[in-house]
Amino acid sequence: MWGANSSSLTPKFFILNGVPGLEAAHIWISLPFCFMYIIAVLGNCGLIYLISHEEALHRPMYYFLALLSFTDVTLCTTTVPNMLCIFWFNLKEIDFNACLAQMFFVHMLTGMESGVLMLMALDRYVAICCPLRYSTILTNPVIAKAGLATFLRGVMLVIPFTFLTKRLPYCRGNFIPHTYCDHMSVAKVSCGNFKVNAIYGLMVALLIGVFDICCISLSYTMILRAVVSLSSADARYKAFSTCTSHICAIVITYVPAFFTFFTHRFGGHTIPHHIHIIVANLYLLLPPTMNPIVYGVKTKQIREGVIKFLLGDKVVFTQDN
């Protein structure tokens, strides 16, 4: 169980216990998660394919949506297959380094997901407040640089998690009451002082989450001011309707994220642990599952693209920012 260097007290592997207290119901719990994962993979891969092959969707809004879809499908794929192995085959062991790798990708991709939502809010701000300069401001190089900056931000801020976690001694055992390797869940298994982990984790949450939410809030404040100033009610409706899908994506992503974050740090003794674990899994699965559905239902161009793909009919795309 333990590594060759006994002074470091590093286990060779961890044991993920799944949902503590609900072991007998693991099979039943796995069914909705498996169904959601299948929808997430098919939906997001379908969106990426549609955006890449349909010339009418080669626009900034849809490039950002494709980036969000790629992030979402990668995020849920880092956790769900392993979680299903725990539920179905009782395969609970995960190598120590594999656990650190999973922890890194989970937190890096959730940070990137938040960053892409922020970029999409800026895209809507430019489209509504500066429509005549939309195509000149959000050029392909600008979009590529914004996506790369979001990725690098996540990597640079999250990679210290692995070093901070690896330095801890693990003399209490190697059982993690979770379905995947979360930073604080792993750190709490340690018998050492993980206060630095907790403080740095809070700093990262502030630097990523709070910064992105402030940018999103500022963007929508400016959008509301621009929309309200329009003279026609029809123009106001049309302008704001282009934001409804993005607003839904924000709610779907941030509500379970806030619940998970605050209960993990402040509500550990008041909320049953199995509720926290289930919501933490929904936090990773709900946005990838719902985003393709929301955008498919709310966005006319995507609906037309799906119809054209399925029926082979020639569909005329409506050009809206």
In DSSP terms, 176 is beta-bridged to 16
- The residue with greater pLDDT, 194 or 5, is 194
What pLDDT is attached to residue 5? 45
Burial pattern 160-186, b for ≥16 Cβ within 10 A else e, equals: bbbebbeebebeeebebbbbbbbbbbb
- The token pair that represents 305 in the structure block: 């693209």
DSSP letter at 180 equals S
DSSP letter at 15 equals E
> Quick one: average pLDDT of 230-244?
84
**pLDDT interval class at 169 (50, 70, 90):** very high
Q: Please, what are the domains in the chain? A: 19-307 (1.20.1070.10)
Structure confidence by residue, pLDDT tens digits, 64-123 = 999 999 999 999 999 999 999 999 999 999 999 999 999 999 999 999 999 999 999 999
Name the nearest CA neighbour of 196 among 229, 160, 222.
160
What CA–CA distance (Å, rounded) separates 71 from 40?
11
Structure confidence by residue, pLDDT tens digits, 9-42 = 788 999 999 998 888 999 999 999 999 999 999 9
> Quick one: average pLDDT of 130-140?
93
What CA–CA distance (Å, rounded) separates 176 from 188?
9
pLDDT over 90, % of the chain: 67
What pLDDT is attached to residue 38? 97
* Average pLDDT over the chain, rounded to an integer: 89
Nearest-5° Cα angle at 97, 96 to 98: 90
What CA–CA distance (Å, rounded) separates 109 from 30?
23
**pLDDT interval class at 267 (50, 70, 90):** low
What pLDDT is attached to residue 103? 97
- The token pair that represents 24 in the structure block: 């007998």
- CA separation (Å) from 38 to 76, 80, 110, 175, 302? 10, 10, 19, 29, 20
Give yes or no for residue 187 having a pLDDT over 60.
Answer: yes
- CA separation (Å) from 309 to 46, 69, 278, 301? 10, 19, 36, 12
Record the pTM: 0.92
Consecutive H or E run containing 249? helix 244-266
What pLDDT is attached to residue 297? 87
